[in-house]
Structure 1
Amino acid sequence: MKTTEESKDAASEPILKIGHVANILGVPTARIRAWESESLITPYRTESGQRRYSVHDVKQLEKIQKLLDSKSTTFLGVRTTLAIACAEHNDDLPSHDMRGFVGQRVKMLRQRQRMSLRDLSTAVKISPSALSAFERGLSRPSTGRISRIAHVLGTTVPELLGMGRPKDQIIVRVDNRELLPLNDEGVRIELLYRTTTVLQSQCITIEPGCGLLEPITHTGEDFVTVVEGEVDVILDSIDVFHLDQGDSMTFPSTRAHGFQNRGSRTTRLVWVNTPPTF
């Protein structure tokens, strides 16, 4: 008799071809590919590029199909629903959740660029075993580490997280922001843009005592203004700049930067960098 862990491993094995999955769902294979292009699912790819799906992936696709067939939500709504579900079940995350989803995307991009596991791990300054665990969905890296991986792979954090390509939408309503499914406790990053732009703008909410402590470095310039509360912006792990409500700051993105809310109430920032390299 299989143990619980063995059963989970079996359900995570990518063994089903896209045609088999299409038959299970009763949809054309083109529809599954369309869901993939909208970053709703990221199947495992063999060395020859063929898609393979696990039992967990099929369950995820069934959820996607049900949400879209209800005609009550958009692709954005589906991505948000899936991200919230992952956060609420953080103690038992299968291979199709955000950990496995992003890990598979990293592996796919790495292989497309013909980079070995060791090549990428050296470039982002983590051990090959830590990178392997991430690609297999066994760990959730910090935002700083995700940013370094995205930079080396020539993409951005939102794209690496599967947020989909920006639409030609010049207005983003407050209830229509995309949430980045990151792993820093007490930090919430929402995108303020839904169109192709050189200004990568985010609304960052930071709970007291929380922050982004692993530094981020990329090309371009950063601008931040405090909408509510207070924040310490840390540059090069040495220089600390305290900003109160209404204060603003501009600095080169090449300076390693992070932030922390050492106050007693929630802080909200508008953070912009250009070009979009975060």
Structure 2
Amino acid sequence: MSSTEMEAPEAAGLGDRLRARRQAAGLSLAALAEATGLTKGYLSKVERGVGQPSIGTIYRLADALGLPAAQLLTHGGPPSALADITRASPATPPQDGDLLLRPLFPSNTGQLIALEMWPPLQARPSQDTSTHAGEELLHVLSGQMEILFENQTLLLNTGDTLRFDARRPHRTRSLGPQRARVLLVLVEG
């Protein structure tokens, strides 16, 4: 699997959360690798903040650790009973590189997960498709992207919205010279 570029705080946060949850479960890197079908080297990169797994891989990791994916994707504090607000912070993706994800509600632990996503310019290999329980909603904020299913490819332009069953294997990529900027909403099922 290829490494992914991500803003340092988010990358380190995901890696730190993965390591803490793995250690709390009493698992070595080798044991987690065996449970998920991932390599020990790849998991080490993710824990060090060097690699960003796909959403499907995050769900596989969470499944192996027996916790909701939101506990790996976000900082884990309880959401407010009234409302949560996350103030804007700049996020400029690099022109090249792999998937870039940024949690929009870093303390969310509910069933709804909102991320800002910049799909890579090159699609991930077919063996690295995302598939997980629940639903996904993609809303293209800027740019153009495609989503590749097994036997179907859909083109999405700025302003387009797609909802689908996330158990359907899928991959995304940006089209054109600029990476697309996408609102990704996951509802765990």
Shorter chain as normaliser: what TM range? 0.5 to 0.7
Matched, 1:130 2:38: no
Q: What's the CA shift string for 1:233-274, capped at 9, x where partnerless?
A: 1224x5321111222212111122221012122311111111
Identity %: 21
Q: What's the CA shift string for 1:186-236, capped at 9, x where partnerless?
A: 5432223355543211121346x2565532221111111212111111224
Go from structure 1 to structure 2 and tell me whether the alpha carbon gap of 1:83 and 1:121 turns closer, same or farther (over 3 Å shift). same
| Mapped partners of 1:134, 1:119: distance in 2 | 16
> Equivalent residues in 2 for 1:231-270 (5 A)?
231-236=145-150, 238-270=151-183
Match of 2:9 among 83, 93, 97: 83
Does the 8 Å CA contact 2:79/2:108 hold for their aligned counterparts? Answer: yes
| Mapped partners of 1:192, 1:109: distance in 2 | 26
Contiguous gaps of at least 5 residues in structure 2: 1-6
Go from structure 1 to structure 2 and tell me whether the alpha carbon gap of 1:170 and 1:133 turns closer, same or farther (over 3 Å shift). closer
Q: Which residue of 2 aligns with 1:143?
A: 53
Aligned residues: 172
> Equivalent residues in 2 for 1:10-89 (5 A)?
83=9
1:148 match: secondary structure:
helix
Q: Offset at 1:154?
A: 2.5
Which one has a larger percent helix, Structure 1 or Structure 2? 1
TM-score, L = length of structure 1 = 0.49
2:115 match: secondary structure:
strand
The structure that has the greater radius of gyration is 1
Does the 8 Å CA contact 1:151/1:218 hold for their aligned counterparts? Answer: no
Does the 8 Å CA contact 2:101/2:115 hold for their aligned counterparts? Answer: yes
User: Letter of the aligned partner of 1:83 in structure 2?
Assistant: P
Does the 8 Å CA contact 1:187/1:211 hold for their aligned counterparts? Answer: no
TM-score, L = length of structure 2 = 0.68
Match of 1:163 among 67, 71, 75: 75
Does the 8 Å CA contact 1:110/1:116 hold for their aligned counterparts? Answer: no
Higher relative contact order (CA 8 A, sep 6+): 2
1:174 match: secondary structure:
coil
Go from structure 1 to structure 2 and tell me whether the alpha carbon gap of 1:122 and 1:268 turns closer, same or farther (over 3 Å shift). same
User: Letter of the aligned partner of 2:41 in structure 1?
Assistant: A
Q: What's the CA shift string for 1:104-146, capped at 9, x where partnerless?
A: 32531431xxx5655532331124x436745985x84441344
Go from structure 1 to structure 2 and tell me whether the alpha carbon gap of 1:121 and 1:271 turns closer, same or farther (over 3 Å shift). same
| Mapped partners of 1:98, 1:172: distance in 2 | 16
Contiguous gaps of at least 5 residues in structure 1: 1-80, 88-96
2:129 match: secondary structure:
strand
User: Letter of the aligned partner of 1:191 in structure 2?
Assistant: P
Go from structure 1 to structure 2 and tell me whether the alpha carbon gap of 1:191 and 1:116 turns closer, same or farther (over 3 Å shift). closer
| Mapped partners of 2:61, 2:124: distance in 1 | 16
> Equivalent residues in 2 for 1:208-247 (5 A)?
209-210=121-122, 214-236=128-150, 238-247=151-160
